[in-house]
Structure 1
């Protein structure tokens, strides 16, 4: 069941182009889409009619989907569900492809990973899909191969270090190239939910 979501680009602050520095969302709530405000607890009270009923978990899922559709492009955004103890980092490209990077796992026994999903929410690629073929990550056009290769743990550490100063991330797989800007890269140090080994 999905409940309350927290979204931030720097701790409790969601960074959008309209905000500078560490301004609080409440100072600029008039300029924010209703979907974002709703997930941050700043929504107007809904009008209910006697004949209308809603399943809370379904409503929360719809609200999350609306928020994800309005995430800023070309930067990292930290999404956290405090009640379920889950967190994710997402970066949306201009083509509405979403890259989720899980580099620093909340539970250390879990393995770092990544996934790509399309605008429709379907998974395009993930870190441990043996049928996907070769995956290459390029940071500012420097090729790091597949840093999530289980047989070369040192690759991941070098990739994480280079990622902190990179401007662009490209992923090449099956004759397709996916490109992302690496704005708000400091968020990549935040712990997130990873997959089980």
Structure 2
């Protein structure tokens, strides 16, 4: 009788300690899973916020949070997005119709070519500075025509174009019978160096 009682008691102790081990392991897995989620950006993190000067640090943001930030980006102003971890710096301006203008005026690497891109609200390229199929492009800064200062033929217009941008209210880009209009708030950000790869 004692022998059976001892075996029953020992098996109960083993089962209970096994339960504790399973419980410890599973709670450790939960904590590890939460850490992994936060490292890869699956945890609950906020979208990067744009400060009063129009600058946002996107270094630790996930792709999903960057998309969320782009959707909620204010219109009519320049926003400088810096990502020190990846070494990517962009300058963008969202129009009221959802189009996005990316300017590459001052390249971080001086040997790279300046340019611009206009994308629709779905991220599809509409107009690119150095695309031969784009056709003729005209920049109107407060309705003064600068042609396409990003075109190598018109390179001498670039200094006057940059100067006009400092105080301009609107930038209009005319291409293929379409007019794209962007407000020029936070124009001081146009001096910031950006990544110029297309």
TM-score strictly above 0.5: yes
Q: Distance in 2 between matches of 1:6 and 1:80?
A: 12
| Whole-Å separation in 2 of the counterparts to 1:110 and 1:6 | 29
Matched with 2:102 is: 100
Alignment of 1:121-132 (within 5 A): 121-132=123-134
Kept after mapping to 1: 8 A contact 2:142/2:169: yes
Are 1:147 and 2:149 counterparts? yes
Q: Which of 109, 112, 116 is equivalent to 2:111?
A: 109
1:154, distance to aligned residue in structure 2 (A)? 1.1
Aligned to 1:10: 53
- More relative contact order in 1 or in 2 (CA 8 Å, sep 6+)? 1
User: CA shift at 1:10, angstroms?
Assistant: 2.7
Q: What's the secondary structure of 1:159's corresponding residue?
A: helix
The question of whether the paired residues in 1 share the 8 Å contact of 2:48 and 2:69 is answered with no
Structure 2 residue corresponding to 1:61, chosen from 60, 63, 77: 63
Per-residue CA deviations over 1:121-172 (Å, capped at 9, x if unaligned) read 1111110010111000000100000011112321111111111111100000
* Residues 115 and 150 in structure 2, CA contact (< 8 A), matched pair in contact too: yes
> If the length of structure 1 is used for normalisation, what is the TM-score?
0.71
Query: Which residue is equivalent to 2:166?
Result: 164
1:81-128 deviations in whole A, cap 9, x for unaligned?
A: 110111001100000000011100000000110000000111111100
Q: Any gaps of 5 or more consecutive residues in structure 2? A: 1-39, 42-46
1:177 to 2:179 alignment:
yes
TM norm structure 2:
0.71
Matches within 5 A, 1:177-196: 177-195=179-197
Tell me how large the CA RMSD over aligned residues is.
2.6
Per the alignment, residue 86 of structure 1 pairs with 88
- For structure 1, list consecutive stretches of 5 or more residues without a partner in the other structure: 15-35, 42-58
Number of paired residues?
Answer: 154
